[in-house]
Structure 1
Amino acid sequence: MPAPVSLKRRLTLWLVIIVAGLGTLLLIEAWTSARKAADRAMDGQLEAASLTIAESLQWPDGTPTLEIPASALQILATRWQERVFYWLQADNGRIITRNADLPITQVMEQQARSGPVYRDAEFEGARIRLAGREVDSAGWDTQEPVQLWVGHTRHGRDVLAGELFEKSATRFVAMVMITAALVTIAMLTALSPLKALRRTLRARRADDISPIELGVPREMQELLDTLNRLFADQRGQRDMLLRFIADASHQLKTPLAGLQSTSELALAVEDPAEWRRALTAVQASAGRTSRLAGQMLSLTRLDHLGPTHERRPLALDRLLRDIVIEWAEREASQAHDLGLAIEASTPVWIDGEAWALAELLHNWIDNACRYTPPGSTITLKLAAIGDDVRLSIEDDGPGVPADAVSRLTRPFERAQRQDTEGSGLGLAIADSIAQRHGTRLRIETCQPRGLRLYIDLSRSASPPESAA
């Protein structure tokens, strides 16, 4: 089993992933913004330089001439000692003046006729930035336009963009560190109720299942309510177990005390006939005690069995016939009218545990024979109820009071009947078996007298061919 990951570590990991993802996007955006800001600043210098140079353009005798003013060179000469380029060309393609053979294409010249143009280019292995515009010769005799291109290398732009990005990144790292500190404090504060709950649970004794009284945030209230419900269930189970142990001790103590007193009386006399009567009583009491112990073991087994992995396709009608035939041959049922009614023309298949359902039927019939007077009619019935089948037993005995019906499935409950040798475990075992099959044991009083017990079971989708 892998080691559990702490909630704090899991939250930290997700925060790191989120911050790293957002941080990467923010750094990319900061670098892009820094480059754009550097381009805007340096392009402004190129525009100012080109306007200054354009103002110095003259047309003596109709021929354009240009003397680069010192102010324009000062504008272009940045603190990073950029290489400066200029290019003046007439509209007919004649070069007027230039200091480098710049890579100006026809497309760039065409775009410059419509307005100022800014382009990146490669020149002599270096990346450069060019700004071009068309200048009209307004105010002179000639109206011949000329194109003016100025530029410089991109080194200064890259350095400026790096400086801007470095400032942004520094602020970002500082914000991340501050955020990490605040998140750590917030996480410790938010998880403190979990630590308080853990300390409370560790400080408890193993037998302390009282409700937890602890102030927790609303998000943890459901967890606390679940724990308290679990403790409540454990209290109920413990109380039920203690009652069962107390009842079982009482039920076992009575026949054992009878055995002891009977044997003591037999030992006090010399009459063999008394010994025989004592042995007969001991045998009967031992049989009842053995049956009681067997039922207690069956109930305990049902309460502690794991998942119903023993379910198999089962022909319920066949099992019912076999059980009824077996009981019809027993002496305990000879004084009763034991009958069987199966309202199905085809085999009734279910997914069930054969041993458990057989135990249920044995307990039903045994209870009916014990708690009804001789001559009573006991009928077992199997009938279709929609997509389910109903397995039931009905007798015409004295029945039980209406207020005692709901208690009949409790262990050692005998509906205030003290005139029989029953232990009061049969219906508790039957109810446990019904629950293992996804249903509950239902008990109804009949009119004018008698009692009916039944369970509803789901049919199998189709019986296996081999079993059919």
Structure 2
Amino acid sequence: MFATRIPDRPYSLRRRLMAAMLAGFTVIMAALAFGLWNYARDAADTTFDLMLDGAAIAILESVTATPSGIQVDIPNSALEILALVEGDRAFYQVSTADGTVLTGNTDLPAPPGLGPRASLPVADRQFFDAPHTGEAVRFVRRQLSVPGITGPVEVAVQVGQTRGARDVMQRDLFFRGMAMLAVLALIGLVCVQSAIHLAMRPLAGIEADIQGRDPANLAPLRAQPPREIAGLIAAINGFMRRLDASKDNAESFIADVAHQIRTSLSALRGQLELASETVDAATQRKRVAKAADQASRTIRLTNQLLTHAMVIHRADTAPQEAVDMIDIARGLIEEVNRSPDSSAEPEFEVQVTPGAEDLMVAGDPVSLREAMRNLVDNALRHAGTAPLVRIALSQGELGGQTALDLRVEDNGPGIAEADRTRARQRFSSLGSRGGSGLGLAIVEASVKAHGGRFELDVSPEGGLSARLLLPAMPIRVAAA
């Protein structure tokens, strides 16, 4: 078994929700920062690449073929375009496809994947970053086929510019964007905190409702909870209803017990006082005999009260077991036959129909045994001069499910139909056989705890037939 560790201090649900939302916002902000940084770099490169590419095009258009070779006349427009970015240095190179530098810087790095003498497809361009003179430089390389006297000549132009202005623009776009995102994140956190507070408000109302109650007030909670905690409120209300019913039963039971015990003890005291005041020995013996009989009644009443309380208590606490009612019946018969209190030798009949011997009742064996004991005691107490008690077990049906049909029948006077409901109530004793009035009430409580049904009828001999219908299942394993 694994025990659930109860925390030393209760945790805050609000703090946990806020911590979870803060962690989520942090992850989202980190992802947005990464994307925004790349976006700002691309935006800066796109803006400055237009100028860099314009300068390369202007230089490429100034290349002409002459009888003496390729002539390059760097236009002022190209230089003016590169001068638009203050603080950055510019580099350029014009070369033929075979790597011969016609003009410009001779040590510019080649594009990735291309050697110094490699060439790009005609009219193509390539942007790339590469270090030059100890700085990060952005380059563009363009190529053009220039018509010459002996045929077309491939000419490449490579223009570069340091990344100072680009990096400044990238950082500016990034920090501006992050500032807006930070404001939105703070607004979102404030809204989340307000939403959490609003969502937790019903719990505060429920707490105030419970704390403001009188200890005896077990009425259902009046709160209208959200769907997420509706099940919790329903469970609390259900528990309070059961607790209220249990409290009412306990108060009623205690009041009845106090009255019955007080009445019985008062009667015993009265008999003893009368015996002590009587001078005649024969009369005194009669008084003492009546007092002894009253003491026996008090003892039996006390035992029945304890049994009734035990049955009610075990209904909620006792573990479920597979109970064989046939074994319980046989054990009770043997116990009665060994008892020296029987005034007449009772006759027992046990009838078990086919199929009933395989049925087991899932329940508390102690409560079921007490129910059977009270039925047998009641049958013996009210049977005729030649006591006959019949215990019949058969397979029945209860609520569409298999059940054990158990009947205890006697040959006594029985109970009139009009009195059967009252006979099952506590402290309701019919006749003059000295019963406590709790036997059938104990049976009623035990059967109800096991989800069964208890009925009273007339036996074939004209006495009482007490019928128990208990949910059962055929789980007995036949001997090989």
TM-score (norm 2): 0.82
Distance 1:433 1:161 in 2: 83
Distance 1:216 1:319 in 2: 50
2:350 aligns to what?
340
Query: 1:147-204, CA deviations, whole angstroms, 9 ceiling, x for partnerless residues?
Result: 2121223343333222211111111111111222222223223322221221221121
Distance 1:271 1:201 in 2: 67
1:20 aligns to what?
26
The offset of 1:43, in angstroms, is 1.5
The offset of 1:123, in angstroms, is 4.0
Inter-CA distance 78–460: structure 2 relative to 1 (3 Å threshold):
farther
Deviates more, 1:323-332 or 1:167-176: 323-332
2:170 aligns to what?
161
Partner amino acid, structure 1, of 2:349? G
The offset of 1:458, in angstroms, is 4.1
Distance 1:106 1:256 in 2: 112
Inter-CA distance 38–439: structure 2 relative to 1 (3 Å threshold):
same
Inter-CA distance 86–205: structure 2 relative to 1 (3 Å threshold):
same
Distance 1:12 1:356 in 2: 53
The offset of 1:136, in angstroms, is 3.4
Partner amino acid, structure 2, of 1:181? V
| Contact 2:93 2:103 survives alignment (8 Å) | yes
1:95 and 2:108 aligned: no
1:247 and 2:256 aligned: yes
2:159 to 142, 150, 157: 150
The offset of 1:426, in angstroms, is 2.5
- Which secondary structure does the structure 1 equivalent of 2:214 belong to? coil
| Contact 1:333 1:369 survives alignment (8 Å) | no
1:47 and 2:56 aligned: no
Inter-CA distance 407–165: structure 2 relative to 1 (3 Å threshold):
farther
Aligned residues: CA RMSD: 3.6
Query: 1:273-331, CA deviations, whole angstroms, 9 ceiling, x for partnerless residues?
Result: 2222222222222122112212222222333346435x667665444322112223444
Inter-CA distance 405–94: structure 2 relative to 1 (3 Å threshold):
farther
Inter-CA distance 296–76: structure 2 relative to 1 (3 Å threshold):
farther
Query: 1:218-272, CA deviations, whole angstroms, 9 ceiling, x for partnerless residues?
Result: 6555544444443333332222222212222232233222212212222221112
**Alignment of structure 1 residues 388-467 onto 2, 5 Å:** 390=404, 392-395=406-409, 399-400=414-415, 410-413=425-428, 417-434=430-447, 438-443=450-455, 445=457, 450-454=464-468, 455-458=470-473, 460=475
- Which secondary structure does the structure 1 equivalent of 2:427 belong to? coil
The offset of 1:120, in angstroms, is 2.8
Distance 1:423 1:280 in 2: 19
2:246 to 228, 237, 251: 237
Distance 1:96 1:51 in 2: 16
**Alignment of structure 1 residues 236-275 onto 2, 5 Å:** 236-275=245-284
| Contact 1:89 1:146 survives alignment (8 Å) | yes
The offset of 1:99, in angstroms, is 0.9
Deviates more, 1:316-325 or 1:257-266: 316-325
| Contact 2:120 2:143 survives alignment (8 Å) | no
Distance 1:75 1:401 in 2: 119
- Which secondary structure does the structure 1 equivalent of 2:88 belong to? coil
- Which secondary structure does the structure 2 equivalent of 1:136 belong to? strand
2:3 aligns to what?
none
Deviates more, 1:271-280 or 1:228-237: 228-237
2:285 aligns to what?
276
Distance 2:12 2:386 in 1: 70
> Where do 5+ consecutive residues of structure 2 fail to align?
1-5
| Contact 1:112 1:147 survives alignment (8 Å) | no
> Where do 5+ consecutive residues of structure 1 fail to align?
none
Report % sequence identity. 26
Partner amino acid, structure 1, of 2:96? A
Distance 2:60 2:422 in 1: 110
Deviates more, 1:49-58 or 1:449-458: 449-458
The offset of 1:376, in angstroms, is 6.0
- The number of residue pairs the alignment matches comes to 461
1:56 aligns to what?
62
Inter-CA distance 8–365: structure 2 relative to 1 (3 Å threshold):
same
Deviates more, 1:253-262 or 1:118-127: 118-127
**Alignment of structure 1 residues 29-428 onto 2, 5 Å:** 29-61=35-67, 63-77=69-83, 79=85, 81-104=87-110, 107-108=113-114, 109-113=118-122, 115-123=124-132, 126-137=135-146, 143-214=152-223, 216-217=225-226, 221-305=230-314, 307-309=317-319, 316-330=325-339, 331-332=341-342, 334=344, 336-343=346-353, 354-375=365-386, 377-383=388-394, 390=404, 392-395=406-409, 399-400=414-415, 410-413=425-428, 417-428=430-441
Partner amino acid, structure 2, of 1:85? F
Inter-CA distance 460–106: structure 2 relative to 1 (3 Å threshold):
closer
Inter-CA distance 97–333: structure 2 relative to 1 (3 Å threshold):
farther
Inter-CA distance 230–354: structure 2 relative to 1 (3 Å threshold):
closer
Inter-CA distance 356–215: structure 2 relative to 1 (3 Å threshold):
closer
Distance 1:110 1:446 in 2: 116
Deviates more, 1:209-218 or 1:160-169: 209-218
| Contact 1:336 1:374 survives alignment (8 Å) | no
Deviates more, 1:396-405 or 1:333-342: 396-405
Partner amino acid, structure 2, of 1:308? A
